[in-house]
Amino acid sequence: MKKLRIVQVVGTRPNFVKSAPLSKALRENSKYFDSILIHTGQHYDHNLSQLFFSDLKMPEPDIYLNVGSGSHAQQTGTIMIELEKVLIRLKPDLVIVFGDVNSTLAAALVASKLCLKLAHVEAGLRSFDNTMPEEINRIVTDRLSDYLFVSEKAGQVNLKNEGVQKEKVFFIGNIMIDSLVNNIETAQKSNILDRLHLEPYKYITSTIHRPSNVDNSRTLQILINCFKDISNHLPVIFPCHPRTRQRIKEFGLLNGNDNGQFRIVEPLGYLDFLKLQSKSKLVMTDSGGIQEETTYLGIPCITLRENTELLATVDVGSNTVCGTDPRKITSTVEQLLDGKYKKSGIPKLWDGNTASRIVEVLKEELL
């Protein structure tokens, strides 16, 4: 029996986390699949790239496109140009993309133009905010995909409302939780709390990186001031994305330095950050993946966006969407500290077995 050639395209930290368990499941089924991993290089900083491959025990990418940074158009276009050459040479039976980043959109467009089968892991999520580049990436990728792997029930509803054939849609759960389940025991051995001189549940973790939050000096100033105010209650630890740190320096906010109990630290690897958030009293973030991870961990989360595509994290989980209104953020923090925060649960099929379900679907559909 001829093995099917499966190409996974990744480019950013969340992609690596989603790809790791699927790569492992495909290797375990090497009788049926020849799996090739392509890294576009969208995230190229050590702590946002190579360190994650090491933490997740992923093999090095088979192909590295090394596209680097740039505007959305430049980055997407460069990935398309380089990826087209590779896919023409490889002639895969299926291209798999993850999430909603520029690498996802670029790979979807190239695969579609080359008439290659396309699968989208984490399909159907919608924020209904077209000012978010990620929303455009999601919509276009879903429209082009032959297999849409859905992580929560809202995704099924959205795709049905958009007229996607139900035969293309598979509710398989949240693959990010596979990585969390596979690595949480190892992560607990991290000494990150000792290195940062922290006690469990006596600090708050914060992250921001989205352009809407960090490219606007006023918005970024509001959030920094809010973090500083909240740090009067508990230390606020801020692992700082390189792009965010650059903006902080450009806008002259804190001069990029720690400020009292509000502590700016370097980006962390996957295991260190998983340990940090798992022992947090609260997490404040604009990251989609962190909304998912905190929901599974049962750690209260404040989302620093006006909306979220991850409705299950709000409806079932620990997440509260506060936007960038400091009064709403502070009020939610006070509720938590007063012991009045909502109870949460874990959404259906967020159980650590999503990758194996995807592989079973691929066997049934492709072999």
Structure tokens at 277: 């958030």
Residue type, 210: R
Q: How far is CA 44 from CA 52, 53, 72, 202, 347, in A?
A: 11, 12, 16, 33, 32
Residue 278: CA atoms inside 13 Å, Cβ hemisphere, count? 21
Q: What three-state secondary structure class fits 283?
A: strand
Annotated active-site positions, please?
Answer: 209
Q: Which of 323, 341, 365, 336 is nearest to 93 (CA)?
A: 365
Bridging pattern class, strands 147-150 and 169-171: parallel
**CA–CA dist 307, 146 (Å, integer):** 28
**CA–CA dist 251, 215 (Å, integer):** 9
Residue 27 CB coordination number (10 Å): 11
**CA–CA dist 158, 68 (Å, integer):** 33
Helix (H) or strand (E) holding 150: strand 147-150
With 0-12 CB in 10 A as exposed, 13-18 as middle and 19+ as buried, what is 307? middle
**CA–CA dist 4, 227 (Å, integer):** 50
**CA–CA dist 158, 139 (Å, integer):** 10
Bridging pattern class, strands 282-285 and 301-303: parallel
Q: What angle do CA 357, 361, 366 make, to 5 degrees?
A: 150
**8 A C-beta contact, residue 323 and residue 212:** no
